[in-house]
Structure 1
Amino acid sequence: MGTWAAGPFDNDTAADWCGALDDAAPRERPVLVEQALRVVVDDAGYLDSDLGVEAVAAAAVLAAHLPGASPVNSAYAPDFLTGGVRLELPERLRPLAVRALDRVVGEESELAELWVEAGEPNKFLVEVAGLRTLLAAA
């Protein structure tokens, strides 16, 4: 797991996903966010860590667009977020993101297991819980 911190953008897979999001045409970005969330929600089997990481990053992108959201300051976040560009993200994505985050921290999740094996599950769980709280309250 190429991870350097517990933040939603702080690993190789999330950074790659954010790069692809930056490279996409602005009108395609909401579709990519939704796809990352939907894949996780629709996956009934053991959840691959890369899919989980992308869903967490997508949820963080969504949370960054909420009214009053804190500015994103990760060097690995999509450039458009740190540049203040806003996406038109449908409200229906919020409950989808909450369900995706629940799936990522669930029992059948490789990502959750990797954090347990690393001995630092609390850092990961705190990050995901914060995102979930923001999205569920919106």
Structure 2
Amino acid sequence: MGTWDIGHFDNDTAADFSGTLDEAAPEEREGLVRGVLTVVAETAAEDYLDSYEAAQAVAAAALVAAQCPGGEPVTTSYGPDEPLPTFAADLRPLAVQALDRTVADESELAELWEESEENEDWRRTIKDLRAVLAPEPEPAAEALADL
């Protein structure tokens, strides 16, 4: 995999995934995102996760997160050019599962980043993406009053 930076689309696989989305009919784009996330999320913990699948899942999760409150728009030239549909809310927890699997044991992408000086920075980008997809709930007003 050709990788040039730590961004979610800064590798050949993610850029190719963007091209696939652009070439797909508009009504097929959510299904492609869902499919990539599902494959990674459903990869058993003891099974080895290929970096190709993981890189696509990170890109797909970034697209889902971009539509969440606090999400960063995908502005890189390596992201999709064509408009994406408004994704169903059930893609958020699926994206979280895929990200968790991507950074877990038996993940080639995680192993490749561990060998890099940018490992901590890359992991921080995944953590930040995950936080947008599954934000911590705000404490209730009563709980704050008890403090």
1:115–1:124 Cα contact (<8 Å) kept: yes
Percent of aligned pairs with the same residue?
53
2:99 is paired with a residue of what secondary structure?
Answer: helix
Q: Does 2:72 align with 1:74?
A: no
- Alignment partner, residue 50 of structure 1: 52
Superposition CA RMSD, Å: 1.4
1:47–1:108 Cα contact (<8 Å) kept: yes
Amino acid at match of 1:124: W
- Alignment partner, residue 108 of structure 2: 110
Structure 1's unaligned 5+ residue stretches are none
TM-score when normalising by structure 2? 0.86
2:22–2:81 Cα contact (<8 Å) kept: yes
2:37–2:61 Cα contact (<8 Å) kept: yes
Deviation readout 1:59-115 (Å, 9 max, x if unpaired): 0010111245333221101113xxxx3413111110010010000000110000000
Deviation readout 1:27-79 (Å, 9 max, x if unpaired): 10000000010000111211000000000000001011124533322110111
In 1, Cα distance between the equivalents of 2:80 and 2:18? Answer: 5
Structure 2's unaligned 5+ residue stretches are 137-147
- Alignment partner, residue 94 of structure 1: 92
Aligned length: 134
Higher-helix-fraction structure: 1
1:36 is paired with a residue of what secondary structure?
Answer: helix
In 1, Cα distance between the equivalents of 2:30 and 2:73? Answer: 19
